[in-house]
Structures are given as C-alpha cells and as structure tokens.
C-alpha cells in the first residue's frame, strides 16, 4: 500500500462482475428445485439463488454469519423449502423459509468446523473437522446435537454417504475420514471401521463414496457397487460392502486427482469424474473404464458435472468459479456472465515490471488473471489453485497449484509449462509457496506442506531439497520471507531461520497454547531495511471456532533471538501478515466475522493498530498488495477489492441512527460521510431502500454527509445502500454497505437533562442521562449541543463518553439562546467504520430568565401559522411554519419557538425584509409521527433593547391524510424534456376557504434547496408554470399543496423531485438522428432506428469507449467489442471467453457501452423501430431491445398483445418484467404488468429501491432496455 494511502483507513471497492478473478465463487453445492429455482452455495460467498435459469442471482445470507459453506441440503418436501448449510468455523445453519433468513443450530455441537451434511428421515447428520471433539453428530427435530459413538475423537470427516436401495434391502451410512471409512447401520448413532479403506499419496484418503446398484445379466444377484474417490489415486471399487477395494482407473491419466465425488446421470447411465488439471472423464460401465468427456481447455476448473434438474437435456458443472451450463452434451459451455454472483476465491496478487503501467496478476481458485490497466482477462487454464499463488519475477510469471506443483508461463507460446524437476514425484496436497531470494531473478525457494523447503538457482528448471534441521511438523511450510541467504520460514512447528540459503535451519520461535503445546505459526515478514526485525502471525482456534490467547502478532527486534506478543493484536486470529508499501506498513488479516476481524495496519512497528476494512464485505482476506497508488486485497469468497489513492486523503464512515421523537416513537435514518481533509472531492451521494440523496459539504469540518430518512419504518436487516464518492479529478468510486443482520440499535438513553433544567445558568453545565433500559451489548455515548431549529449548527461534541454524564467544555454559550442537547448510545463496527446509534434529545435555554432591560409582554407576535403534513419526496413528516411580520427598524432581534416534546427552533432575525410581503418564515420540525392535537407552542420575540414578547401558538389540527393532491401528472424523479404544466386532482375542490398553492425550488449541488424560483398562491388544474426558464441537467422540487384556512393554515403538501433535460431514461428524441449521451461508466443504449450501427465506426475510439456488449438471445451468449484490441486479439479473447465478436447492432437491439469518458453519439438515419414490430419477433426469456416510438412501459407491453386490453390496464401474460438503466443515477427503472394491474407497482418499486417510470416515463429513442417474456 502506498505511503500516502496506508496512513489513513482505505476505502475498498469490490472488483467484481463477469471476467473478474474467480467471479461466481467456489461452488460447494448446487441444486434445482421443483419451483424452478436454482440454488448455489459457495465457500466464502454463502447462498445465492436464481429464478430465471441463472441469468441473475440474489444472495440469501440474512443471518448466515459464516459464509464458508462446505455442504448443503434442501428439503423440498416442506413448504416453504427448508435449507441447511454446513459452515467451516460457524457450525450448522438452518433456514425454514427457503433461505430468506438463517439461524445457527449448534446446541451440543462440539466442533463448529463442519464439512459434511446428510439427512436420514427426520435426522440430520454433520461431519466435523477438529483436533478433538470431532466426528459425526446427529440431531432430531427439537433436540440438540449428539456425538455418535465408534469414531476416534480426533477424526476429520471428509463426507458422509448414504447407501440406500429399497428393493435391494440396502440402507447404511459411510463416513469417509482421515482415519479410514466407517460404517453405520443405525442411522448414524454408532459407527464401526471397515476392514479396509483405500488411500493415496501424501496421506490422501477417501474423499467421497458413491453407490451404484445393478443385477448382472442372467442372474438374480443384486450387487451394490461402491466407488470411492482418492486424490492422487483415482477410483477404487468395492462390491462386498467395503471389505475389499480395487483400483479402477482404466483410461484415466496417471496419478488422477478427483476434484470431488462422482456424479451420475440417470438419464444416460453415465458416471462423471472431474480431475484436477486433466479434464472430466465419463464411464458408461459403472466405472470399469473411462474416456475423456470434456477436456481441460473446454471445461476448466470443474468440481463435478451433473444433469440439470430444471431443464431436461442440460448439463450443469460446479466449478471453482461459479456454474457452467451446456445444452449440447458438453461440446460447449456457457456461464460466468450472470449478474449478482458472488466474488471468487482469490489468493494473492503480483505486478510485473512493464512500463509505464505494470500489469497486475491475481491468483484465483480457477487460475491466474491478468489486468492490463483496462480490463481483466483470464490466462490459459491451470490446475486447481485453491491453495496456489501467482508470483512474478521481472516479466516472468509463475504459478503454484494445490496438487500439481509449479508452472511457468511462456509468453511466446502462451502456454503454462510445469517446472517440477527435482521435486517429489507426487505433489498432491503439497500447496507450494514460492518466494524469490530478492537478489537474483533465477534464485527462489519453494515451501511444501509436508516436504519442507526446495531451492532453485535456474528459474525453476531444477529443484533440490534444503531441509537440514527440519523434521516432522517443521516440514509443513506456511510462509517464507527471504533476503538473499537470510530466510525465515513459518511452519506447523514454529518459525525457523537460515543464514546460508536454507542449507541449515534453526528454530527461533515456537508459539505455545495454554497447555504449553507448540501451535502452527502463520505469515512471517522481516523488515526489508534491517532484516533483523521480524513479525509473525499466529492463527489457531478452539473446536468451537473461538480464538486463543496465544493468537496474534509476535515481534522480534534481534533477528529472532527473543519475541514479544504485541498487545494491540493479542488474541486475534491473524491469518496473514506482511509488510507492504513504500512506508513499510505492517498489514494483518484477522479472520473473525465480527468487529475483531478484517484488515489492520500499523505504521509504528506494531505499537498501535488501525482498522483498514472500510468497504470490505468479508473479513476472509488472504493477502494484500500495494500498487503505489493504492492497494488490492484478495479474499476467500468475495473476490478482489481495491482502493486507489492519488494523494486524495479522505476516509468514509457510515451511521445508522434511530431517534426518539416527541411522541415516544422511533424514526430511522442512515448517513454516509466522507472526511475530505485535502478538499479533493466534488461530491457524494447515497441511495438505498427506495431513496437517494446527494451529500452536503460542511466546510468548517471538511466533511461531506449524505443523509436518508425513513420515518417510523426501519429498513430491513441486510438492506444494501450504495454510496458514490466523486473526486474533483478522476473516476467516481462506488461502494456498497448494508445494515447489519441485527438491524438498528434501538437502545435509547433516557432522562436526558442539563444541570439547571430547561433554563441553564452555569457556563459549563453538566449533562446527564440514564443508560438504556432496553437492548443489549456495550455502549459508548455521543453527546452533542446544537443551536435549536430546523437547520442545526453543531456547537460542541463529545464523541466517545464511557459514563452517563459529561461536563460541557465547548465555546461560550450565548445568553438568551435555545440549544438542543443530543445523547446517543452507540455501537461501533471498526472494520467497516459503521456506527449504530440510538438517540434522544431535549432543549434548554442559556440564561434566558428575565429580559435584560425591559420586561416581557404578551400578545400576538406572529401573523400566520402554517400547520403542515408533507409527503412525496421523503417519508411523511409534520411541521409548523411561523410567519413574523417585519418592518424597517422594527428592533426585532431574535425568535424562539418551543413546542411540547422538545421540538423547537430559534435564531436571529434577518437585517432586511426578506420578501415583498414583509414577512420572515421560520419552521419547527415535529417529526415523522403525527402529534396528538390540540397542543400549544410558545413564540418568543426578543427585541434589541432586551424586551420580549411571548405569544401562544395553538395547533388545533392537521390536514387529513386524504387531503394530499392526487393524480399528479409529473412522476417522481422523472427526467422531463419540457416543463410547462402539471395536472392534478384537488380532493378539497368546492370546500370553503380552501385553495391549492404551488412552489418550485431548485435543488443545489449538495442536495439542499437553493432559491425558491416560483410561487403561485391559488391555482387550478392544470397548474401552468410561469416562472423563469429552467436550466438543463438541473434537479428541482415541485410542491403542490392543498391549504385550508387563511391566517391559520392546515396544509397537505406533496413534493415531486424531477430533473430537467438530464441524461437518462426519461429523455431522448424520436426517430433517426437522436443524440445519445453516454456518461463515464456503464450505459444501456439502444438502436431505435431500422438502420444498423457499425460498432467499430460508431464506438471505435478507445479514449471514449472501453467495451461494447450485446446480448444474443438465440444463443444465450454475449457479443463483445473492445476498441483497444486488434481484430486478431479481439477474436482470440472473445473465443477464450466463449463470446461472439460484436460487429453490428441492428435496429431494435439494445447494447451496453462501458464508457471511458462522457461523449455523445448519434443514431443513424432510418425509420423509428415501432413497439408493434416486436409482437411476433420477441422470443421467450431475456432480450435486450430498443424502440423508437417513445412508449411508456405499459404501452409497449400492450403493443405486444394480439388483443389490446381495456383502457387503464396492462396486457397480462405478455412481459414478466421490464428494466431500464439510468446511468446518471446508477440505478434501475422497473416495470411489471402484474404489479401494474394490482396497483402494487409503486410500492414494490419503492421497497426495492428501484426508479419508478410513473405514468408518463417513456422508453425513449436511444435507450436500451431488458424485457423478460415468459
């Protein structure tokens, strides 16, 4: 990490999407269910499901706090389906609502590292992997787990197989473990070892057993055939119940390494066996002989192939990077281009020495990826790299693999070549660690799990062992750091050191647990300057996943002679530790799914540590790499993350707040803030839960803040929010964060009061409160004093109070001024820099008794009272507006409005009359819950001579909820090309003393209101706009308000935000020649004329365009174009990804453009494509299209129907959904005919955070959109 960036907390953004390293995740389980849903469980990514045959996926991990899934079960006999997931470190999780929510089910489970799940009737069995308390556990409904008997206490279970055939009277279980195969005939309660169990090289044991049943021709003998997979030894067969086993590898390559268990296709009686690095084989004679089915270059990185349970004739492959599907018997495979998939299993990154921009290489479970500064591309296939790494020496790229040793890339031939000469014959499970010696590009060390250290002086052409002084657990190498002949290695027996290039080794550190047993050490790093300061991480857990006190970071300042555990990381499970960047920042990865986990950095030699996980969605970080202008992080299950730092020093924070209003009800909100110390940003924005907001800049604090307010209804747990940070120069960064599974903190402090009560006289009052009476967990308190009123100004803040009182020590309070005192209980998640606050407030006035010179009078001091309820642009809220008459030299100095419940406003009057009517309006926010009426407020006007006038404001009622204007023709968030009139329905039409008024406000660059542009006090429908000309690409708020009364007004005010002539879905012309604007990033465009677009001509400028994509429904694949590639390279790349080369976009086709910069193109001349032209040509499934007749989504849907529907409804059974992308808002417009007809479209759209077409939003020319047709 660069020195300028590691000094702060980096803001990570995920590198995800089709083509990125490992995208799709390491699949541990997949299944299709009768309801048409496809399910996928990945290690590190949790559960994802798809309801559209894999085109889009959605995560379903609410409550699933551990995402390292090893196995899963779906029970389709229940409604809704029930699911169980085995996680590594988190135990077993159960869902009874088809994955919507999960709960841990670990009562009685002695080991939470669960590797296997199997069901037997109502019983669930779990296989575990711990040093003790391990084995097979079983559980019945409503009970806890019970440890089965007959298995060794330290057994590690790989899988559990049920062998059952009713007609053959066969039903037993096999537990496949590191100590052989065990059998149970009583549903898993007791177990006994089989007489024999197959084994393979390097201690490999049976991974899985599958059973086939047959009756030989001409006999009546029923045969149960067991087939076992063993890494490095292939297939073993038994037909005597597992008493004896025989290898059955005819046709397989030497030393075959199965990637998982065998899969069987009942439709074709075919067994499939996927091998590491050698492709997938098949057998049609029950495993007697094998033939190659799918070569490694056709279907790489596959764990297993099975028939689809959703679509007949399809094959589905579980791979190390998502699912792949074949519709032609395996000749070709598609996949990896779906949206919503998890990030991948990635391990590390390295850079080469290319100039001016180095290439970046990333290792993922499925191979090595290369980033050329513009896009990621996967390099030729390699064997399984789950535990492998990529290494770069100059321009030469090396890769280590889990089971096949070391490979070197030949850039001339484009081929990986194995370089294993001199290494052990069989490298199964050896997981090599490759490190150069830092002095000579040809010299390197290789650490093997179980075989120690090997050395090469000829760039891997030959290797020789260097293990003198290493034995036993010391031969299991976890990490290496080398500086010439000085080498430190971290092993399962501790840290060893060599000063002669590995010829001899000496133990320098053996970490111990509480029982004084040596435990393995993890990442080791020596200071690159002194080499004598050394750090090592320690990572060990209990059987229940808890960290041990011996974990953490240890430091030696004397070349390993003595070691000290660093207090700041003591007890943390440090998975990786390294020194990165020009400033030699110490970076530790802690694998803990809580505030204790994530990345931590130290710039003072480990004396202090700072969390550095802001933006990461997982704490399973394998490694980090500095780039000089930022860094990358490789994670297990969420892919890569990066941050870029061009000396722009800013850090992000998130705040989920719950506030108690005057009626005792909570209201909820979320803030996204950016501290911008160097003033390098131009803005921020925040969207989610159906709302969006742009950030406002606090110039005094150099802090941007964007706020969303949700009223009395809190967003659901795990709701995702999207924040965009825009620098003054450079590319905006987008980050997603979510509300934690536990939801909001609702533990509100009570009895908040300043010393002296409502009238404070002490210059430094004491503020006190009582601890929350509800909620759980530890709290600190954030105390603030603000000036009271609608626009609060912070006067003082004490952000981290541990007790329940604090003394004010801020700026001098101003006599006669009202203040608001806020106290929040807060819980902070350091890795994500997120605070969960629950607050309440009270008001006080400082030295307000007495007038100071003239006494107090009573009587009306205002002339109008506006009692309002507001809706539309935000959740419904309530407030008062008070109008004070003004005249020149009237001596009015300040006002103060006080209402029940601490709702108040105060401030100074202006020095001049603010409008021609001679009034000044001030407002009191009454919150999101309608207060009970009647109630009184007081209005105090203070004059310059110190005298005061106090009046009573009586709030007798609020306008009714049905009083809002309805049927407003302007849709919220619409992009309008002209603004002349707006129609509406007045529900108070004809009622005495009522009217409709309208206001138009410009929304400024920070999301606040600018000047009021226009006001009309009494208008009929349609309202005609007569104000000043609007400015293109500018946001506005229109308020249409029904009002009853004259001096005391009861109003229902409806706000409609819109954008005038902005780039997005709502704009566009008609016919040919339409100008189509593209912004930097992704744009969904369309050819809405009948003339084809030549892609190279229209989008061939690499300064403007990065890539262009078109979906081909006939083949369910993408066509792709990149102007930076030569035709030959484009063809080669497209073929490697199974894309078509994109050359032409015909009329009516939509397409994606990833723009490098903002630009404008023009549609070709031609006839506009009509909506009706798709009535006979639009196929089923997903299509990406465009029209030129400017229809609304409903009108377009109806144009496809052979029988036009009745007026005001949408044709049923034509489209399922329609989606259009707004590049300016980075959000989707959504339409569904079924929801349109049920009047649920607006609510659904709002609940999902989508944009609403409304009744007038159209599918404009030049706009592409997705449709899903059944």
Over the stretch 557-572, which tens digit does the pLDDT of each residue have? 999 999 999 988 888 8
Residue spans per domain, the chain: 31-258, 665-738, 745-849, 853-958, 961-1060, 1075-1269
pLDDT given at position 896: 92
pLDDT given at position 1067: 32
**CATH C-level class of 665-738:** mainly beta
Decide which of 1178 and 173 is more confident. Answer: 173
Answer for the pair 804, 781: CB distance below 8 angstroms, yes or no: yes
Question: Taking 90 as the threshold, does the pLDDT of residue 68 lie above it?
Answer: yes
314 CB neighbour count, 10 Å cutoff: 17
Q: In what order do the strands lie in the sheet with 322-326?
A: 302-307, 315-319, 322-326
pLDDT given at position 1244: 73
1206 CB neighbour count, 10 Å cutoff: 6
List CB contacts of 775: < 8 A, sequence separation 6 or more. Answer: 745, 746, 747, 825, 838
Lowest mean pLDDT among 378-382, 396-400, 466-470, 965-969: 965-969
Residue 930, token pair as written in the block: 């309608």
Question: Is 1174 strand, coil or helix?
Answer: helix
Residue 133, token pair as written in the block: 């308390």
State which of 233-237, 544-548, 580-584, 859-863 shows the largest mean pLDDT. 233-237
pLDDT tens-digit map of 1036-1071: 888 999 999 877 889 999 988 787 876 433 333 333
Lowest mean pLDDT among 486-495, 621-630, 859-868, 964-973: 859-868
Tell how far CA 465 is from the center of its chain.
Answer: 44
Q: What is the rounded CA–CA span in Å between residue 707 and residue 1155?
A: 29
Lowest mean pLDDT among 2-6, 938-942, 1045-1049, 1151-1155: 2-6
**CATH C-level class of 853-958:** mainly beta
Q: What is the rounded CA–CA span in Å between residue 1261 and residue 3?
A: 49
pLDDT given at position 678: 58
CATH fold of 745-849 reads Immunoglobulin-like (2.60.40)
Question: Is 591 strand, coil or helix?
Answer: coil
Mean pLDDT, residues 424-440 taken together? 90
Question: Taking 90 as the threshold, does the pLDDT of residue 279 lie above it?
Answer: yes
Question: Is 592 strand, coil or helix?
Answer: coil
pLDDT given at position 440: 83
pLDDT given at position 1068: 33
Mean pLDDT, residues 672-685 taken together? 77
Lowest mean pLDDT among 204-213, 836-845, 858-867: 858-867
pLDDT given at position 662: 52
pLDDT given at position 917: 38
Decide which of 1012 and 1228 is more confident. Answer: 1228
1235: enclosing H helix or E strand: helix 1233-1237
pLDDT tens-digit map of 1001-1040: 776 543 445 556 777 777 888 888 878 888 887 778 889 9
Q: How confident is the model at residue 1164 (pLDDT cuts 50, 70, 90)?
A: confident
List CB contacts of 1164: < 8 A, sequence separation 6 or more. Answer: 1072, 1087, 1089, 1091, 1092, 1093
pLDDT given at position 1: 29
pLDDT given at position 913: 36
Lowest mean pLDDT among 97-111, 538-552, 598-612, 1190-1204: 538-552
By CB atoms closer than 10 A (0-12, 13-18, 19+), residue 874 is: middle
Q: How confident is the model at residue 776 (pLDDT cuts 50, 70, 90)?
A: low
Arch. (CATH architecture) of 31-258 = 7 Propeller (2.130)
1096: enclosing H helix or E strand: helix 1095-1098
Q: How confident is the model at residue 912 (pLDDT cuts 50, 70, 90)?
A: very low
Q: What is the rounded CA–CA span in Å between residue 1185 and residue 957?
A: 52
Percent of the chain with pLDDT over 70: 89
pLDDT given at position 844: 74
Question: Taking 50 as the threshold, does the pLDDT of residue 682 lie above it?
Answer: yes
Lowest mean pLDDT among 605-614, 846-855, 1033-1042: 846-855
Residue 1255 bridge partners (DSSP):
none
State which of 384-388, 610-614, 648-652, 1185-1189 shows the largest mean pLDDT. 384-388
pLDDT given at position 887: 58
Q: Is 961-1060 in the same CATH topology as 31-258?
A: no
Mean pLDDT, residues 869-898 taken together? 78
CATH fold of 961-1060 reads Immunoglobulin-like (2.60.40)
């Amino acid at each position: 990490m660069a020195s300028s960036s590691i000094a702060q907390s980096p803001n990570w953004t995920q590198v995800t999407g089709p083509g990125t390293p490992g995208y799709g995740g390491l699949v541990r389980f997949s299944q299709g269910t009768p309801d048409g849903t496809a399910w996928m469980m990945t290690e590190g990514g949790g559960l994802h499901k798809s309801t559209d045959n894999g085109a889009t996926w959605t995560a379903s991990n609410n409550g699933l706090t551990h995402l390292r899934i090893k196995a899963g079960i779906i029970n389709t006999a229940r409604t809704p389906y029930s699911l169980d997931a085995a996680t590594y470190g988190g135990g077993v999780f159960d869902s009874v609502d088809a994955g919507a929510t999960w709960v841990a089910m670990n009562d009685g489970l002695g080991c939470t590292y669960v590797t296997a799940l199997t069901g037997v009737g109502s019983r669930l069995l779990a296989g575990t992997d711990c040093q003790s308390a391990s084995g097979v556990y079983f559980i019945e409904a409503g009970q806890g787990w019970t440890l089965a008997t007959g298995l060794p206490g330290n057994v590690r279970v790989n899988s559990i197989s049920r062998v059952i055939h009713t007609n053959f009277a066969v039903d037993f279980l096999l537990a496949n473990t590191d100590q052989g195969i065990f059998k149970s005939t009583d549903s898993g309660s007791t177990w006994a070892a089989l007489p024999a169990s197959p084994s393979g090289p390097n201690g490999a044991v049976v991974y899985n057993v599958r059973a086939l049943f047959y009756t030989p021709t001409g006999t009546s003998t029923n045969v149960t055939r067991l087939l076992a997979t063993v890494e490095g030894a292939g297939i073993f067969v038994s037909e005597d119940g597992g008493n004896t086993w025989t290898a059955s590898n005819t046709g397989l390559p030497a030393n075959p390494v199965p990637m998982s268990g065998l899969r069987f296709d009942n439709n074709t009686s075919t067994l499939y066996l996927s091998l590491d690095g050698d492709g997938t084989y098949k057998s049609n004679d029950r495993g007697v002989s094998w033939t190659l089915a799918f070569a490694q270059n056709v279907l790489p990185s596959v764990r297993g192939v099975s028939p689809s349970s959703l679509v007949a004739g399809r094959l589905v492959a579980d791979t190390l990077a998502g699912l792949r599907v074949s519709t032609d018997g395996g000749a070709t495979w598609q996949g990896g281009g779906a949206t919503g998939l998890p990030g991948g299993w990635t391990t590390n990154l390295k850079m080469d020495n290319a100039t001016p921009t180095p290439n970046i290489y990333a290792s993922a479970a499925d191979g090595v990826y290369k980033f050329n500064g513009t896009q990621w591309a996967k390099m030729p296939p390699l064997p399984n790299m789950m535990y492998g790494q990529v290494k770069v020496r100059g321009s030469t790229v090396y890769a280590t693999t889990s089971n096949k040793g070391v490979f070197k890339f030949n850039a001339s031939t484009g081929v990986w070549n194995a370089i294993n000469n001199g290494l052990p014959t069989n490298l199964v499970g050896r997981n090599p660690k490759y490190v150069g010696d830092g002095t000579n590009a040809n010299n390197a060390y290789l650490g093997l799990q179980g075989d120690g250290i090997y050395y090469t002086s000829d760039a891997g052409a030959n290797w020789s062992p260097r293990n003198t002084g290493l034995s036993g657990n010391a031969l299991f190498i976890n990490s290496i750091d080398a500086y010439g002949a000085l080498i430190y290695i971290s092993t399962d027996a501790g840290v060893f050191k060599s000063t002669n290039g590995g010829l001899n080794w000496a133990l320098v550190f053996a970490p111990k647990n509480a029982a004084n047993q040596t435990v393995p050490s993890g990442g080791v790093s020596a200071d690159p300057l002194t080499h004598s300061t050394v750090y090592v991480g320690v990572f060990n857990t209990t059987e229940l996943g808890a960290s041990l006190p011996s974990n953490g970071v240890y430091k030696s300042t004397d070349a390993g002679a003595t070691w000290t555990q660093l207090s700041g990381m003591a007890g943390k499970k440090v998975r990786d530790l390294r020194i990165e960047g020009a400033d030699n920042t110490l970076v530790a990865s802690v694998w803990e799914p809580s505030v204790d986990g994530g990345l931590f950095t130290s710039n003072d030699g480990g004396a202090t540590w700072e969390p550095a996980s802001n933006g990461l969605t997982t704490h399973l970080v394998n490694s980090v790499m500095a780039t000089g202008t930022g860094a990358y992080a490789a994670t297990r299950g969420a892919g890569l993350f990066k941050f870029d730092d061009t000396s722009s020093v800013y850090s992000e924070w998130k705040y989920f707040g719950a506030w108690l209003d005057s009626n005792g009800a909570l209201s909820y909100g979320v803030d996204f803030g950016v501290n911008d110390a160097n003033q390098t940003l131009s803005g921020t924005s925040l969207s989610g839960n159906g709302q969006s907001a742009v950030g406002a800049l606090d110039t005094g604090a150099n802090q941007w803040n964007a706020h969303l307010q949700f009223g009395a209804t809190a967003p659901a747990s795990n709701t995702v929010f999207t924040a965009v940070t825009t620098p003054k120069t450079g590319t905006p960064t987008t980050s997603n964060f979510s509300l934690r599974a536990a939801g909001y903190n609702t533990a509100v402090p009570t009895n908040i009061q300043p010393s002296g009560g409502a009238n404070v006289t002490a210059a430094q009052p004491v503020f006190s409160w009582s601890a929350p009476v509800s909620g759980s967990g530890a709290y600190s308190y954030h105390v603030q004093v603000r000036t009271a009123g609608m626009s609060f100004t912070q006067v003082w803040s004490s952000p981290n109070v541990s007790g329940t009182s604090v003394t004010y020590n801020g700026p001098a309070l101003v006599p006669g001024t009202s203040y608001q005192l806020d106290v929040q209980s807060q819980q902070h998640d350091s890795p994500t820099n997120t605070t969960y606050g629950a607050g309440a407030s009270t008001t006080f006035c400082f030295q307000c008794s007495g007038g100071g010179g003239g006494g107090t009078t009573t009587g009306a001091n205002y002339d109008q009272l506006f009692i309002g309820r507001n809706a539309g642009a935000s959740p419904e809220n309530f407030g008062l507006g008070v109008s004070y008459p003004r005249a020149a030299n009237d001596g009015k100095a300040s006002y103060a409005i006080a209402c029940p419940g601490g709702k108040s406003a105060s401030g100074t009057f202006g020095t001049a009359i603010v409008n021609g009517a001679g009034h000044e309006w001030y407002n009191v926010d009454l919150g999101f819950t309608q207060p009970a009426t009647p109630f009184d407020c007081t209005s105090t006007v203070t004059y310059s001579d110190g005298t005061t006038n106090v009046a009573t404001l009586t709030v007798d009622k609020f306008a009714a909820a049905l009083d809002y204007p309805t049927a407003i023709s302007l849709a919220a968030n619409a992009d309008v090309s002209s603004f002349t009139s707006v129609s509406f329905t007045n529900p108070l039409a004809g009622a005495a003393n009522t009217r409709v008024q309208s206001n138009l406000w410009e929304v400024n660059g920070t999301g606040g209101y600018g000047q009021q542009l226009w006001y009309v006090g009494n208008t009929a429908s349609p309202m005609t706009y007569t104000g000043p000309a609007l400015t293109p690409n500018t946001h506005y708020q229109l308020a249409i308000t029904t009002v009853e009364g004259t001096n005391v007004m009861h109003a229902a005010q409806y706000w409609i935000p819109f954008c005038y002539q902005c780039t997005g879905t709502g704009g566009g012309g008609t016919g040919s020649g339409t100008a189509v604007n593209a912004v930097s990033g992704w744009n969904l465009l369309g050819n809405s004329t009948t003339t084809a677009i030549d892609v190279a001509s229209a989008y061939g400028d690499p300064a403007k365009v990065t890539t262009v994509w078109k979906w081909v429904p006939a083949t369910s694949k993408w066509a792709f174009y990149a102007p930076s590639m030569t035709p030959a390279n484009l063809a080669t790349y497209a073929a490697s990804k199974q894309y078509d080369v994109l050359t032409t976009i015909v009329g009516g086709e939509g397409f994606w453009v990833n723009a490098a910069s903002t630009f404008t193109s023009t549609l070709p001349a031609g006839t506009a494509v009509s909506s009706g032209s798709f009535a006979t040509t639009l196929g089923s499934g997903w299509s990406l299209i465009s029209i030129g007749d400017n229809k609304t989504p409903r009108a377009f849907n109806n144009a496809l129907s052979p029988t036009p529907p009745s007026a005001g409804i949408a044709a049923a059974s034509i489209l399922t959904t329609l989606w259009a992308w707004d590049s300016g808002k980075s959000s989707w417009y959504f339409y569904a005919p079924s929801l349109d007809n049920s009047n649920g479209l607006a609510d659904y759209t709002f609940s999902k955070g989508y944009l609403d077409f409304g009744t007038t939003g159209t599918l404009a020319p030049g706009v592409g959109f997705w449709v899903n047709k059944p």
